[in-house]
A and B are shown apart, each in its own frame.
Chain A
Amino acid sequence: MASPPGFPRSLLSEPWSARLAYFQRYTVAHPRLIEVKEKLVAAIQNSEPNSLVFVFGPTGVGKTTLRLKAEQILTAELHVELEQDRGRLAVVSVEAVAPESSRFSWRDHFKRLLLEMDEPLIEYKRDLQAGFVGIRAPARPKPTTGEYRYGVEQALRFRRPAAVMIDEAQHLAKIASGRRLLDQLDVIKSLANRTQAVHVLFGTYDLLAFRNLNGQLSRRSLDVHFPRYRAECAADRRDFISVLRSFAQQLPLSDPPDLANDWEFLYERSIGCVGVLKQWLVRALSAALRGGDAALSRRRLESQALSVAQIDKILSEASEGEMRLMDSNDAASRVRTTRLGAAYPQAAARR
């Protein structure tokens, strides 16, 4: 098994900003990431055009990296069609921004979508089917939310992207009561329906609140779970350590560190999320390079690690999410045995 090459040795003579940039650009293709990427691309390509795909996982696990890779794959696959039809877009990606007030602003979201699609004349959008606006209007009012939405629908209809990706979709749930939560998702659902475009929502475990709101949604939505590495599982342990070795090889230091030795500490302060781990290593590397160190000492790592309180918070959110997921899986088996009345050997064995 030949290992991939480490960082180019010429980097050592470059200034520290270049070395830092090199490490920041590096992305390790660990097995969990690859597996989830395959699932996501398959989900986008095989599902019905108006379906929703939910991608959830703990914060910092690598969802944005996953999104970028999926975009690259979809763009590459559509390359021929994109060259033939210059009006078509491959993928539209937008981030659902957290609102300043307690309510999520759809108007800004639609405007952001239009900007992302390079749509001209955004301030002049009119819903021509809703009502007639004559040419004698003295003061042209700004477009309303409904008009921006109509603009987005038209844009998606004519640009026909392979998928619409909404990052940080947990912000959509920023509303007051449980009933309105369904309304929020209805907006996305009807948009997907009217434009026949696959919508992919990336977010934390808060997205689970959307998942099983009603039966119709459950039928037309697909889940992709992106979990962190769990230390209880031996295979996950091995993968995590291989990740550490990959990172260690790419750290542009003259004296490469042996991260695999300290794997327990590294796991503890990153709880198995490769994103959190990488950001930590970037901070540590930056401090080391600025300090002129030739190696990455344990002390540097400790100084740049997230505090225990922070880790606790992250871990509790992740665990809660994983528990909710387990609960719903149990609920599925409950449906099978009690509601549907069938007896399965797996259920008996688990008990």
Chain B
Amino acid sequence: MRQNSLSQLWRGERATGLGKGGQCATLSETQEFFMLPAFEAWDFTVEPITARSRLYSLAPIGIGTAFVESLSGYVERLAEAHAVSAGSLIGKELSNFVRPGRINLGLVSYAINGVGGSAKRWVQALETITSRSDLRHLTLLPFERLLPQPFLFRYVRAWCPACYELMASRSEPIYEPLLWCLKLVEVCPRHRRFLANTCPHCLQSLRPLSAAARPGYCSRCGLWLGDNTSRTAHASSDAVPTEYPLWLADAIGELLASAPRIQPERLRDCARGALLAYANAFAEGNRTAVADMAGCRRGIFYSWFKGDQVPRIDTLLRTWYQLKLPVACLLDGDYPGVPPEAQAKKSLEIRNAREVAPKRSREQIRGALEEALHEEPAPSLTEIARRLGYGTSTRLREADASLCRQIAFKYRKSGRSHWWRRRGAKPICERPRIKKVLEEYLASDSPIPPLDRIAASLGYAVDRSLWQKCPELCRALSAKIEGQKRARVAAIEPALEQALQESPPPSLRQVAKRLGFSAACVLKAHAPDLYERLKTHWQAYARTRRTELQNKLKAVLEENPPPSLRSVYSRLGVTESIVNTSSQNLRREIGLRHLQYQRQQVQERRDSVRAEIREIVGMLHAQGICPSVPRVTSLLKSGSLREWTVIGKAVNDARRELTTD
């Protein structure tokens, strides 16, 4: 059947003029063939396009929100997209770009999300290899000027199981937010519970970026880390986070969300500007008061202002929390105005906490007086004095007598003065109450405030009415106050002498605090020699302590085996910053010795495992069994090194030796 159809075809084609028969049929056609046009040619050149990126150009998630992705999470997600493990991607692909030589994953950890040189190198490498330009928002590099390098990141991986479940349920790609990498953040701002840091299945803690890491899965057992409601709740999830961690998580989230918008050069100035504005608004420029209020050491505060030190992120945020400042002004710098009542209330709070009248210049007082002159309804001088923190108006008169006279005149004219002479004026305070209060003070042992303060607390302008109403009580009280003052002053010398005997000697500020004074200059005023003696004594003590520490550190240099820096610190009971400021070279030497010792240990272990492998290979060969790598590994002793690159190479070397022997 097929043959017939084929021959039919041949016949058909022959009939159209292919072959001897039928030529005449196509003669007319042949003539017109010479007039047929030729066809155009095709051009295959392709317009050149820029080279394609080596790895997929994955879009990072969440830029501009609090839950922005971290760079380490991005690398993990990139590895997942390429169907390779994170270790392969980093070791084979990224190592050429980031730095020459191999990358040790153990040292990489979360630092690539930070502000240092390694973060910059990784960002540059990844941006080159994926042809993207927005990857620096996945790190803290925008905050480089504001945050110092240490203390930023955790050493173990932390996550929120509920967030993973949320991502999975919404079929969104699963990723690791930058928020979870920071040491400061302990709660999830979305779900208001503590972050987990042990796998619920294998109960182990995980390294931040390991070779088998995958977003959302444990890197040791490979199981899902999301919230499995069938499991019993973890112990940590029963604990309810307090206010400060929640505020902290929210604040950091806000900072991260505004990262694309900030101008990095202005960051430190913004923080400084905000604090200055706060001090001006609430404490009339008194930065010490603000420092005390924030619970921050004064020296640190001053160095922030001067710009010497970069504030540590945890102290900075704690200050912000205590001062109840909005986080946004950390970045913008302009402190939003508060309503005047709140302002006044807050200033009063700060002022009362200080227990010392603020120091004002004559111009400041004059300015306040001029303002008050135009005020309605006209205030009295005592009111103005109280507002400025003084007990009476003496200082105001000192500053500018004529203005005071004008204010008093205005007050009298307004008709508000001498109100007690008017008909139907009620007494400010009833006599029995005055008596009660005064007796209470008399009976108590705590320091008694001056009489006009007591009068002010009862509502009077001056203490004249008190004297008029209960003269004996007032006399006794003022005698008691005098006695208390004398006692305090008298207590200075014995306290200083006792401090001289103490060992270790207390600092001058501590002695002042013990006695109830707010500054050490009071001591200097009343007992200058003792003051000087205590000062020199204390300085000598500090010097001996420092030399002791140095001697101890020098002794550590002789120790064998060389201990690590951290163990030395905990043994001596000091912190790293103390050692760093006093004896930097010793610290470096100790660290170096320890590092060399560790390297030596590793080398010894490698050598011992190599010797062991050589033995085993020889034994297997003698028995006639092929010494393959898994067989040799199974015969190794339990404590030996398991680095499989070393093992593989050692087995190959041993086998080569055998064949050459």
Within 8 A of B (CB), among A31-75: 31, 65, 68-69, 71-72, 75
Would B57 and A68 count as touching, CB distance under 8 A? no
Q: Say whether B17 faces chain A, with CB atoms less than 8 Å apart.
A: yes
* In the complex, chain A residues whose CB is within 8 Å of the CB of B203: none
Q: Say whether B393 faces chain A, with CB atoms less than 8 Å apart.
A: no
Would A133 and B85 count as touching, CB distance under 8 A? yes
* In the complex, chain B residues whose CB is within 8 Å of the CB of A87: 52-53, 55-58, 130-131
Would B221 and A132 count as touching, CB distance under 8 A? yes
What separation, in Å, do the CA atoms of A89 and B46 have in the docked complex?
14
Would B16 and A120 count as touching, CB distance under 8 A? no
Measured CB to CB, the nearest residue on chain A to B93 is A120
Would A29 and B88 count as touching, CB distance under 8 A? no
What is the minimal beta-carbon distance from B271 to any residue of chain A, in angstroms?
A: 38
Known: A68-B44, A135-B211, A319-B5. A128 touches B80 (CB 8 A): yes
* In the complex, chain A residues whose CB is within 8 Å of the CB of B44: 27, 68-69, 72
What separation, in Å, do the CA atoms of A95 and B237 have in the docked complex?
57
Would B56 and A158 count as touching, CB distance under 8 A? yes
Known: A27-B44, A29-B39. A151 touches B131 (CB 8 A): no
Within 8 A of A (CB), among B27-54: 29, 33-34, 36-42, 44-47, 49-54
Q: Say whether A325 faces chain B, with CB atoms less than 8 Å apart.
A: no
Stretch of A13-21, A77-85, A198-206, A332-340 that contacts chain B:
A77-85
Partner of B36, one of A83, A124, A139, A245: A245
Partner of B647, one of A72, A118, A138, A315: A138
Within 8 A of B (CB), among A99-143: 118-121, 124-128, 131-136, 138-139
Partner of A30, one of B19, B29, B39, B87: B39
Stretch of A162-170, A260-268, A342-350 that contacts chain B:
A260-268
Q: Say whether B13 faces chain A, with CB atoms less than 8 Å apart.
A: yes
* In the complex, chain B residues whose CB is within 8 Å of the CB of A126: 83-85
Partner of A82, one of B49, B220, B633: B49
Would B212 and A158 count as touching, CB distance under 8 A? no
Would A260 and B83 count as touching, CB distance under 8 A? no
What separation, in Å, do the CA atoms of A68 and B44 have in the docked complex?
7
* In the complex, chain A residues whose CB is within 8 Å of the CB of B214: 128
The number of residues on chain A lying at the interface, defined by a beta carbon within 8 Å of a beta carbon of chain B, is: 71
Partner of B89, one of A83, A121, A260, A316: A121
What is the minimal beta-carbon distance from A40 to any residue of chain B, in angstroms?
A: 14
Would A242 and B36 count as touching, CB distance under 8 A? yes
Would B46 and A75 count as touching, CB distance under 8 A? yes
Stretch of A185-193, A230-238, A280-288 that contacts chain B:
A230-238
Would B92 and A79 count as touching, CB distance under 8 A? no
Measured CB to CB, the nearest residue on chain B to A322 is B9
Q: Say whether B405 faces chain A, with CB atoms less than 8 Å apart.
A: no
What separation, in Å, do the CA atoms of A136 and B54 have in the docked complex?
28
Q: Say whether B533 faces chain A, with CB atoms less than 8 Å apart.
A: no
Measured CB to CB, the nearest residue on chain B to A68 is B44
* In the complex, chain A residues whose CB is within 8 Å of the CB of B629: 138-139
* In the complex, chain A residues whose CB is within 8 Å of the CB of B85: 124, 126, 128, 133, 135
What is the minimal beta-carbon distance from B75 to any residue of chain A, in angstroms?
A: 14
Please indicate which of the listed interface residues B6, B49, B210, B633 has the most CB atoms of chain A within 10 Å of its own CB.
Answer: B49
Would B130 and A245 count as touching, CB distance under 8 A? no
What is the minimal beta-carbon distance from A58 to any residue of chain B, in angstroms?
A: 13
What separation, in Å, do the CA atoms of A71 and B47 have in the docked complex?
12
Partner of A86, one of B53, B87, B647: B53
Known: A86-B53, A121-B84, A139-B629. A320 touches B2 (CB 8 A): yes
Partner of B18, one of A151, A264, A316: A264
Would A231 and B13 count as touching, CB distance under 8 A? yes
* In the complex, chain A residues whose CB is within 8 Å of the CB of B220: 134
Would B212 and A135 count as touching, CB distance under 8 A? yes
Partner of B82, one of A1, A30, A121, A132: A121
What separation, in Å, do the CA atoms of A136 and B644 have in the docked complex?
8
Q: Say whether A292 faces chain B, with CB atoms less than 8 Å apart.
A: no
Would B633 and A138 count as touching, CB distance under 8 A? yes
What is the minimal beta-carbon distance from A197 to any residue of chain B, in angstroms?
A: 15
Known: A30-B39, A263-B33. A138 touches B630 (CB 8 A): yes
Q: Mark B359-382, 1 if CB is under 8 A from A, else 0.
A: 000000000000000000000000
Known: A89-B52, A231-B18. A76 touches B81 (CB 8 A): no
Partner of B39, one of A4, A79, A119: A4
Q: Is the interface of B mostly helix, strand, loop or mixed?
A: loop
What separation, in Å, do the CA atoms of A120 and B131 have in the docked complex?
15
What is the minimal beta-carbon distance from B13 to any residue of chain A, in angstroms?
A: 5
Would A4 and B38 count as touching, CB distance under 8 A? yes
Q: Say whether A150 faces chain B, with CB atoms less than 8 Å apart.
A: yes
* In the complex, chain A residues whose CB is within 8 Å of the CB of B29: 234, 237
Partner of A79, one of B49, B54, B223: B49
Q: Say whether A3 faces chain B, with CB atoms less than 8 Å apart.
A: yes
Q: Say whether A243 faces chain B, with CB atoms less than 8 Å apart.
A: yes
What separation, in Å, do the CA atoms of A31 and B53 have in the docked complex?
38
What is the minimal beta-carbon distance from B369 to any residue of chain A, in angstroms?
A: 67
Known: A120-B54, A323-B5. A4 touches B41 (CB 8 A): yes
Q: Say whether B447 faces chain A, with CB atoms less than 8 Å apart.
A: no
Q: Say whether B12 faces chain A, with CB atoms less than 8 Å apart.
A: yes
Within 8 A of A (CB), among B198-243: 210-212, 214, 217, 219-223
* In the complex, chain B residues whose CB is within 8 Å of the CB of A138: 629-630, 633, 644, 647-648
What separation, in Å, do the CA atoms of A65 and B58 have in the docked complex?
34
* In the complex, chain A residues whose CB is within 8 Å of the CB of B34: 260
Q: Say whether A241 faces chain B, with CB atoms less than 8 Å apart.
A: yes
Measured CB to CB, the nearest residue on chain A to B130 is A87
* In the complex, chain A residues whose CB is within 8 Å of the CB of B221: 132
Within 8 A of A (CB), among B280-320: none
Would B84 and A159 count as touching, CB distance under 8 A? no
Known: A87-B57, A87-B130. A128 touches B83 (CB 8 A): yes
What is the minimal beta-carbon distance from B642 to any residue of chain A, in angstroms?
A: 8
Known: A120-B93, A127-B83. A26 touches B49 (CB 8 A): no
Please indicate which of the listed interface residues B15, B33, B130, B221 has the most CB atoms of chain A within 10 Å of its own CB.
Answer: B33
What separation, in Å, do the CA atoms of A243 and B36 have in the docked complex?
10
Within 8 A of A (CB), among B122-158: 130-131
Would A243 and B39 count as touching, CB distance under 8 A? yes
Please indicate which of the listed interface residues B38, B46, B51, B221 has the most CB atoms of chain A within 10 Å of its own CB.
Answer: B38
Q: Mark A152-192, 1 if CB is under 8 A from B, else 0.
A: 00100011000000000000000000000000000000000
Would A29 and B42 count as touching, CB distance under 8 A? yes
Known: A124-B88, A135-B210. A319 touches B9 (CB 8 A): yes
Please indicate which of the listed interface residues A128, A134, A158 has the most CB atoms of chain B within 10 Å of its own CB.
Answer: A128
* In the complex, chain A residues whose CB is within 8 Å of the CB of B210: 135
Would A86 and B41 count as touching, CB distance under 8 A? no
Q: Mark A245-261, 1 if CB is under 8 A from B, else 0.
A: 11011100000000010
Q: Say whether A209 faces chain B, with CB atoms less than 8 Å apart.
A: no
Would B55 and A120 count as touching, CB distance under 8 A? yes
Interface residues of A (CB under 8 A from B): 1, 3-4, 26-31, 65, 68-69, 71-72, 75-76, 79, 82-83, 85-90, 118-121, 124-128, 131-136, 138-139, 147, 150-151, 154, 158-159, 231-232, 234, 237-238, 241-243, 245-246, 248-250, 260, 263-264, 267-268, 315-316, 319-320, 323
Can you show 9 pairs from A to B with CB atoms below 8 A apart? A4-B41, A27-B41, A72-B44, A120-B54, A120-B82, A124-B88, A132-B222, A158-B81, A319-B9
Interface residues of B (CB under 8 A from A): 2, 5-6, 9, 12-13, 15-19, 29, 33-34, 36-42, 44-47, 49-58, 80-85, 87-89, 92-93, 130-131, 210-212, 214, 217, 219-223, 629-630, 633, 642, 644, 647-648
By Cβ-Cβ distance, the 5 closest A-B pairs, closest first, are A132-B222, A87-B57, A86-B131, A246-B38, A158-B56
With A135-B210, A246-B38 already in contact, 20 other A-B pairs whose C-beta atoms are closer than 8 Å: A28-B40, A28-B41, A75-B49, A86-B50, A87-B55, A88-B52, A125-B83, A127-B83, A139-B644, A154-B82, A158-B58, A159-B56, A231-B16, A232-B12, A237-B16, A246-B41, A260-B34, A264-B19, A267-B18, A320-B2
